[in-house]
Amino acid sequence: MRLATWNVNSIRTRLPRVIDWLSRADVDVLAMQETKCSDGQFPALPFFELGYEVAHVGFNQWNGVAIASRVGLDDVQIGFEGQPSWSSKPEVAAGAEARALGATCAGIRMWSLYVPNGRAVGDPHYSYKLEWLAALRDTASGWLSADPGAQIALAGDWNIAPTDDDVWSTEFYAGATHVSEPERRAFGAIVEAQFADVVRPFTPGPGVYTYWDYTQLRFPKRQGMRIDFILASPALAARVTGAQIVREERKGKAPSDHAPVFVDVTDPRQG
Protein backbone atom coordinates (compact mmCIF):
# COMPACT_ATOMS: atom_id res chain seq x y z
CA MET A 1 0.00 0.00 0.00
CA ARG A 2 1.39 3.40 -0.95
CA LEU A 3 0.67 6.61 0.99
CA ALA A 4 1.74 9.97 -0.43
CA THR A 5 1.68 13.66 0.36
CA TRP A 6 2.07 16.60 -2.01
CA ASN A 7 1.71 20.34 -1.62
CA VAL A 8 0.26 20.94 -5.06
CA ASN A 9 0.27 24.76 -4.88
CA SER A 10 -3.18 25.17 -6.52
CA ILE A 11 -4.96 22.03 -7.64
CA ARG A 12 -6.70 23.79 -10.52
CA THR A 13 -3.37 24.95 -11.91
CA ARG A 14 -1.58 21.70 -11.18
CA LEU A 15 -4.39 19.24 -12.03
CA PRO A 16 -2.79 17.77 -15.20
CA ARG A 17 0.46 17.18 -13.31
CA VAL A 18 -1.26 15.55 -10.34
CA ILE A 19 -3.51 13.30 -12.43
CA ASP A 20 -0.62 12.27 -14.66
CA TRP A 21 1.53 11.36 -11.68
CA LEU A 22 -1.27 9.43 -9.98
CA SER A 23 -1.85 7.44 -13.16
CA ARG A 24 1.80 6.36 -13.10
CA ALA A 25 2.75 6.18 -9.43
CA ASP A 26 0.49 3.42 -8.06
CA VAL A 27 -0.51 5.60 -5.10
CA ASP A 28 -3.36 4.35 -2.95
CA VAL A 29 -3.86 7.43 -0.79
CA LEU A 30 -2.71 10.97 -1.59
CA ALA A 31 -2.83 13.84 0.90
CA MET A 32 -2.76 17.22 -0.84
CA GLN A 33 -2.10 20.68 0.58
CA GLU A 34 -2.51 24.22 -0.66
CA THR A 35 -5.31 23.34 -3.03
CA LYS A 36 -6.22 27.05 -3.08
CA CYS A 37 -9.90 26.61 -3.87
CA SER A 38 -13.29 26.24 -2.26
CA ASP A 39 -15.01 22.87 -2.03
CA GLY A 40 -17.21 23.74 -5.00
CA GLN A 41 -14.19 24.59 -7.14
CA PHE A 42 -12.24 21.39 -6.45
CA PRO A 43 -11.91 19.35 -9.70
CA ALA A 44 -13.03 16.00 -8.29
CA LEU A 45 -14.16 14.32 -11.52
CA PRO A 46 -10.69 13.48 -12.91
CA PHE A 47 -9.86 11.76 -9.62
CA PHE A 48 -13.10 9.79 -9.73
CA GLU A 49 -12.29 8.70 -13.27
CA LEU A 50 -9.01 7.23 -11.97
CA GLY A 51 -10.86 5.36 -9.24
CA TYR A 52 -10.26 7.73 -6.32
CA GLU A 53 -12.75 9.05 -3.82
CA VAL A 54 -11.94 12.58 -2.68
CA ALA A 55 -12.51 14.58 0.48
CA HIS A 56 -11.62 18.27 0.46
CA VAL A 57 -11.93 21.31 2.67
CA GLY A 58 -11.30 24.77 1.31
CA PHE A 59 -12.99 28.09 1.96
CA ASN A 60 -11.35 30.46 -0.53
CA GLN A 61 -8.20 30.91 -2.61
CA TRP A 62 -5.92 30.28 0.38
CA ASN A 63 -4.83 27.06 2.08
CA GLY A 64 -7.07 24.03 1.39
CA VAL A 65 -6.35 20.34 2.04
CA ALA A 66 -7.61 17.15 0.41
CA ILE A 67 -7.32 13.37 0.55
CA ALA A 68 -7.77 11.15 -2.51
CA SER A 69 -8.11 7.42 -1.85
CA ARG A 70 -8.76 4.33 -3.93
CA VAL A 71 -8.94 2.06 -0.85
CA GLY A 72 -11.82 3.65 1.00
CA LEU A 73 -12.51 7.05 2.52
CA ASP A 74 -14.39 6.83 5.81
CA ASP A 75 -14.98 8.96 8.91
CA VAL A 76 -13.91 12.20 7.23
CA GLN A 77 -13.06 14.90 9.77
CA ILE A 78 -12.42 18.57 9.05
CA GLY A 79 -9.85 19.90 11.49
CA PHE A 80 -8.54 18.25 14.63
CA GLU A 81 -9.78 18.71 18.18
CA GLY A 82 -8.33 21.89 19.64
CA GLN A 83 -7.16 23.29 16.30
CA PRO A 84 -6.46 27.01 16.85
CA SER A 85 -8.31 29.70 14.95
CA TRP A 86 -6.83 32.65 13.06
CA SER A 87 -7.78 36.01 11.64
CA SER A 88 -5.42 38.47 9.99
CA LYS A 89 -7.89 41.34 10.42
CA PRO A 90 -9.01 42.68 13.80
CA GLU A 91 -12.50 43.30 12.48
CA VAL A 92 -12.95 39.71 11.29
CA ALA A 93 -13.69 36.97 13.80
CA ALA A 94 -11.05 34.27 14.00
CA GLY A 95 -11.92 30.87 12.59
CA ALA A 96 -10.30 27.51 11.95
CA GLU A 97 -8.51 27.58 8.60
CA ALA A 98 -8.62 24.80 6.00
CA ARG A 99 -5.37 23.22 7.17
CA ALA A 100 -6.26 19.76 8.49
CA LEU A 101 -8.35 16.92 7.10
CA GLY A 102 -8.54 13.36 8.36
CA ALA A 103 -10.02 10.18 6.88
CA THR A 104 -9.70 6.45 7.42
CA CYS A 105 -8.37 4.59 4.38
CA ALA A 106 -8.07 0.81 4.57
CA GLY A 107 -7.62 1.01 8.33
CA ILE A 108 -5.08 3.85 8.28
CA ARG A 109 -6.08 7.20 9.73
CA MET A 110 -4.62 9.58 7.16
CA TRP A 111 -4.24 13.27 7.97
CA SER A 112 -3.49 15.90 5.35
CA LEU A 113 -1.83 18.79 7.19
CA TYR A 114 -0.79 22.23 6.02
CA VAL A 115 1.05 23.78 8.95
CA PRO A 116 0.92 27.60 9.09
CA ASN A 117 3.90 29.32 7.49
CA GLY A 118 4.72 31.68 10.36
CA ARG A 119 5.76 34.52 8.02
CA ALA A 120 8.47 36.00 10.27
CA VAL A 121 9.84 35.31 13.73
CA GLY A 122 7.85 37.49 16.09
CA ASP A 123 4.90 37.91 13.73
CA PRO A 124 1.47 37.02 15.17
CA HIS A 125 1.31 34.27 12.54
CA TYR A 126 4.48 32.79 14.00
CA SER A 127 2.83 32.53 17.41
CA TYR A 128 -0.21 31.01 15.74
CA LYS A 129 2.05 28.43 14.07
CA LEU A 130 3.56 27.36 17.38
CA GLU A 131 0.15 27.21 19.01
CA TRP A 132 -1.17 25.14 16.09
CA LEU A 133 1.70 22.64 16.38
CA ALA A 134 1.31 22.37 20.16
CA ALA A 135 -2.40 21.66 19.77
CA LEU A 136 -1.67 19.00 17.16
CA ARG A 137 0.88 17.38 19.45
CA ASP A 138 -1.59 17.29 22.36
CA THR A 139 -4.42 15.92 20.24
CA ALA A 140 -2.27 13.33 18.48
CA SER A 141 -0.86 12.18 21.81
CA GLY A 142 -4.44 11.69 22.95
CA TRP A 143 -5.18 9.48 19.97
CA LEU A 144 -2.31 7.17 20.92
CA SER A 145 -3.23 7.18 24.59
CA ALA A 146 -6.72 6.05 23.65
CA ASP A 147 -5.44 3.42 21.22
CA PRO A 148 -1.69 2.61 21.28
CA GLY A 149 -2.16 0.37 18.25
CA ALA A 150 -3.75 3.08 16.11
CA GLN A 151 -2.49 3.32 12.52
CA ILE A 152 -2.04 7.07 12.00
CA ALA A 153 -0.18 9.06 9.32
CA LEU A 154 0.41 12.78 9.85
CA ALA A 155 1.27 13.77 6.30
CA GLY A 156 1.81 17.14 4.74
CA ASP A 157 3.69 20.37 4.41
CA TRP A 158 5.05 21.12 7.87
CA ASN A 159 6.79 24.38 6.94
CA ILE A 160 9.68 23.38 9.21
CA ALA A 161 13.18 22.18 8.34
CA PRO A 162 13.98 20.16 11.48
CA THR A 163 17.78 20.07 11.07
CA ASP A 164 20.49 22.17 9.48
CA ASP A 165 20.96 19.44 6.88
CA ASP A 166 17.40 20.16 5.71
CA VAL A 167 18.27 23.54 4.17
CA TRP A 168 20.71 24.39 1.45
CA SER A 169 22.28 27.23 3.46
CA THR A 170 22.03 27.90 7.18
CA GLU A 171 23.46 31.37 6.57
CA PHE A 172 20.73 32.21 4.06
CA TYR A 173 17.98 31.21 6.50
CA ALA A 174 19.55 32.71 9.61
CA GLY A 175 16.88 34.47 11.67
CA ALA A 176 14.06 33.24 9.44
CA THR A 177 11.07 31.05 10.09
CA HIS A 178 11.12 27.32 9.29
CA VAL A 179 14.50 26.90 11.01
CA SER A 180 14.04 28.66 14.35
CA GLU A 181 14.58 26.66 17.52
CA PRO A 182 10.98 27.04 18.77
CA GLU A 183 9.67 25.61 15.48
CA ARG A 184 12.16 22.77 15.54
CA ARG A 185 11.25 21.99 19.15
CA ALA A 186 7.57 21.96 18.21
CA PHE A 187 8.26 19.46 15.43
CA GLY A 188 10.45 17.43 17.76
CA ALA A 189 7.69 17.32 20.36
CA ILE A 190 5.43 15.53 17.88
CA VAL A 191 8.20 13.04 17.10
CA GLU A 192 8.69 12.54 20.85
CA ALA A 193 4.97 11.83 21.08
CA GLN A 194 5.83 8.67 19.12
CA PHE A 195 5.18 9.88 15.57
CA ALA A 196 8.27 8.87 13.61
CA ASP A 197 9.60 10.44 10.43
CA VAL A 198 9.30 7.34 8.26
CA VAL A 199 10.68 8.95 5.08
CA ARG A 200 14.12 10.08 6.24
CA PRO A 201 15.57 6.60 6.88
CA PHE A 202 15.10 5.84 3.17
CA THR A 203 16.11 9.31 1.92
CA PRO A 204 19.12 10.34 4.00
CA GLY A 205 20.66 13.79 3.64
CA PRO A 206 22.14 16.31 3.59
CA GLY A 207 21.03 17.93 0.37
CA VAL A 208 17.77 15.96 0.14
CA TYR A 209 14.89 18.40 -0.21
CA THR A 210 11.16 18.49 -0.91
CA TYR A 211 10.72 22.19 -1.71
CA TRP A 212 12.52 24.64 -3.99
CA ASP A 213 11.44 28.26 -4.41
CA TYR A 214 10.50 29.30 -7.94
CA THR A 215 12.85 32.29 -7.80
CA GLN A 216 16.61 32.55 -8.37
CA LEU A 217 16.80 29.17 -10.16
CA ARG A 218 16.67 27.45 -6.78
CA PHE A 219 15.74 24.05 -8.22
CA PRO A 220 18.52 23.63 -10.81
CA LYS A 221 20.95 25.03 -8.26
CA ARG A 222 19.76 22.39 -5.76
CA GLN A 223 18.94 25.10 -3.23
CA GLY A 224 15.96 23.67 -1.41
CA MET A 225 14.46 22.70 1.94
CA ARG A 226 13.09 19.47 3.37
CA ILE A 227 9.75 20.53 4.85
CA ASP A 228 7.29 17.83 3.70
CA PHE A 229 7.00 14.80 5.96
CA ILE A 230 4.99 11.72 6.80
CA LEU A 231 5.06 11.07 10.53
CA ALA A 232 3.66 7.67 11.52
CA SER A 233 2.36 6.18 14.74
CA PRO A 234 4.34 3.21 16.09
CA ALA A 235 1.97 0.60 14.68
CA LEU A 236 2.07 2.16 11.22
CA ALA A 237 5.80 2.90 11.30
CA ALA A 238 6.45 -0.79 11.85
CA ARG A 239 4.79 -1.51 8.51
CA VAL A 240 6.86 0.93 6.41
CA THR A 241 9.13 -0.82 3.91
CA GLY A 242 10.31 2.09 1.75
CA ALA A 243 9.95 5.76 0.93
CA GLN A 244 10.82 8.22 -1.81
CA ILE A 245 10.90 11.94 -2.53
CA VAL A 246 9.89 12.18 -6.18
CA ARG A 247 12.22 14.99 -7.19
CA GLU A 248 11.51 14.50 -10.90
CA GLU A 249 8.03 15.96 -10.43
CA ARG A 250 9.54 19.36 -9.61
CA LYS A 251 10.81 19.47 -13.23
CA GLY A 252 8.97 20.23 -16.44
CA LYS A 253 6.07 22.51 -17.31
CA ALA A 254 4.15 24.29 -14.55
CA PRO A 255 5.33 22.19 -11.59
CA SER A 256 4.46 22.72 -7.98
CA ASP A 257 7.31 24.14 -5.92
CA HIS A 258 7.10 20.95 -3.82
CA ALA A 259 7.82 17.36 -4.80
CA PRO A 260 5.53 14.50 -3.83
CA VAL A 261 6.69 12.23 -1.02
CA PHE A 262 5.48 8.66 -0.47
CA VAL A 263 5.93 5.65 1.77
CA ASP A 264 5.16 2.00 1.10
CA VAL A 265 3.60 -0.06 3.86
CA THR A 266 2.96 -3.78 4.11
CA ASP A 267 -0.45 -5.29 3.99
CA PRO A 268 -1.26 -6.13 7.66
CA ARG A 269 -2.60 -9.48 6.50
CA GLN A 270 0.98 -10.36 5.51
CA GLY A 271 2.37 -9.66 8.96
* Binding-site residue positions for Mg(2+): 7, 34, 157, 159, 257-258
Residue 209 phi/psi, 5-degree rounding, is -125, 165
- Amino acid found at 135: A
Residue 268 CB coordination number (10 Å) = 15
Catalytic residue among 28, 56, 114, 197: 114
Largest CA distance in the chain: 56
- DSSP E strand boundaries for the chain: 2-7, 29-33, 53-57, 65-69, 74-78, 100-105, 108-114, 152-157, 196-197, 228-232, 240-245, 261-265
Residue 247 CB coordination number (10 Å) = 17
Told to judge if 20 belongs to the known catalytic residues of this protein, a careful annotator would answer no
Catalytic residue among 52, 128, 157, 209: 157
Annotated binding site: which residue ranges?
Answer: 7, 34, 157, 159, 257-258
Beta carbons of 9 and 256 less than 8 angstroms apart = yes
Residue 62 phi/psi, 5-degree rounding, is -115, 150
Return the DSSP state at 85. Answer: P
Q: Which SS3 state, helix, strand or coil, does residue 232 take?
A: strand
Going by their DSSP bridges, the two strands 29-33 and 2-7 should be labelled as parallel
- Amino acid found at 134: A
- Amino acid found at 261: V
Distance between CA 185 and CA 195 in Å, rounded? 14
Told to judge if 138 belongs to the known catalytic residues of this protein, a careful annotator would answer no
Beta carbons of 47 and 68 less than 8 angstroms apart = yes
Catalytic residue among 28, 126, 197, 258: 258
Told to judge if 75 belongs to the known catalytic residues of this protein, a careful annotator would answer no
Distance between CA 210 and CA 258 in Å, rounded? 6
Return the active site residues. Answer: 114, 157, 258
